[in-house]
Amino acid sequence: MRYLIVAVSMCVVATQSRADDKIDVAKAVEQAKSVAKAVLDEDYAKVAELTHPKVVEIMGGKEKMVEQTKTIMKTLKDMGIAIKSHNVGKPGEPVIDGKSTYLIIPTTMELSANGMKIVTESYLLGLSTDSGKSWVFVDGAGMDQKKVKDEVFPKLPDGLTLPKKKPPVVTKE
């Protein structure tokens, strides 16, 4: 019985110390804003640095990811599509699962194309394994791809609900 009490006490202490860990959500928002700024500045190497390493691997490594992103963005430009803004919203509550912390940060991107204004709402799924000191991200659009979701996050924590995909809002400029 004494061992049971000691074991339960240890579990309570371990749970309390984990609950008391301060997750640096402000750092996540700061780094998410760096992703948004890097997209606007066409700094795709910076985007790759802040992208979950498994996504970078799926895309063939950092150099290939950067080249693929440049190609996609050039194609969009050639089609007359321009990114006007990329904003980061207020994050949800962090979800802790063992040593991993997950955070959903809403994003809004405004594009223009042929006299049309296109506003898309999505999110960045942030992951930290060091109590929020550093974060890597996966764009919500990527989470719609089965391969990305299955290989990067085969099992998301129960307390984490990914936002539903929203259709873009298109208006005349």
19 has a pLDDT exceeding 50: no
Q: Phi and psi of 85, rounded to 5°? A: -155, 155
Please check the confidence at residue 14 and state whether its pLDDT lies above 60. Answer: no
Residues comprising the chain, all counted: 173
> If you average pLDDT over every residue of the chain, what do you get?
88
**Which one of 3.20.20.70, 3.40.50.300, 1.20.210.10, 3.10.450.100 gives the CATH number of domain 22-155+166-172?**
3.10.450.100
pLDDT on residue 144: 82
Across 151-165, average pLDDT? 91
pLDDT digits (tens, 9 = 90+) for 79-108: 999 999 999 999 999 999 999 999 999 999
Q: Does residue 121 register a pLDDT over 50? A: yes
Reported as a pLDDT band with limits 50, 70 and 90, residue 143 is confident
Average confidence (pLDDT) over 128-149: 91
Reported as a single tens digit per residue, the pLDDT across 27-82 is 999 999 999 999 999 999 999 999 999 999 999 999 999 999 999 999 999 999 99
- Kindly report the pTM of this predicted structure: 0.84
Residue 21 binned pLDDT confidence (cut-offs 50, 70, 90): low
